[in-house]
Amino acid sequence: MDRLAVIKGDITECKVDAIVNAANNSLLGGGGVDGAIHKAAGLELLEECKTLNGCKTGEAKISGGYRLPAKWVIHTVGPVWHGGKQNEDRLLANCYKNSLELAVTNDIKTIAFPSISTGAYRFPLKRAAGIAISVMKKFLDRDKNIQKVYMVCFDDKTFRAYSYNFL
């Protein structure tokens, strides 16, 4: 699929229309990719996020990108892993699907995703990669608005997991 690419890098440096933030429910910043995005975007991002009234797990909201190369940030809240017995798979799939739908609504043509929920939220990496790639492929098969989706992996282990599922 030429509209989907798995790359290794820093999502805060991606030159795309929108990057996706693996946020927490408050949308007010945190650790990992969330903290990195807030730091790179500047305090204006935090100020706008204060007006968004948080975000439920599996849903997505959009803000400006401010000092980032990306014009937009789509914030989505992934599920905390509880052994797979609390709809974690469905909630994670919804993060990707709802982020892509929000991108289409906002005429976003290029978008970059991090690996959602696989850090502090402890979602098993290989399982998360399979869900993410599957949702992305299905979405791109039926929707032609988005020109390119990048799965941006911060380290080698994550890159291998997503690359394997991409085949």
| 34 given a catalytic annotation | yes
pLDDT band at 147 (very low <50, low <70, confident <90, very high): very high
- In this structure, whether the domain defined by 4-166 belongs to CATH 3.40.220.10 is answered with yes
**Average pLDDT, integer, range 12-29:** 97
Tens digits of per-residue pLDDT, 37-57? 999 999 999 999 999 999 999
Opening angle at CA 74, ends 71 and 79, nearest 5: 160
* 27 has pLDDT over 70: yes
Q: What is the pTM of this model?
A: 0.97
Band of residue 165 on the pLDDT scale cut at 50, 70, 90 = confident
Coil, helix or strand at residue 164 = helix
User: Phi and psi for 93 in degrees, rounded to 5?
Assistant: -60, -40
Q: With CA atoms as reference, report the closest residue to 16 among 69, 76, 63, 66.
A: 69
pLDDT of residue 167: 63
pLDDT tens per residue across span 76-118 = 999 999 999 999 999 999 999 999 999 999 999 999 999 999 9
* Alpha-helical runs (H) found in the chain: 32-41, 43-49, 88-105, 125-142, 156-166
- pLDDT for position 16: 98
Any residues with CB less than 8 A from the CB of 151 and at least 6 apart, and which?
4, 5, 6, 7, 112, 113, 115, 132, 133, 136, 162, 166
* Candidates 34, 107, 141, 155; catalytic one: 34
- Return d(Cα 20, Cα 33) in angstroms, integer: 10
The amino acid sitting at 66 is: Y
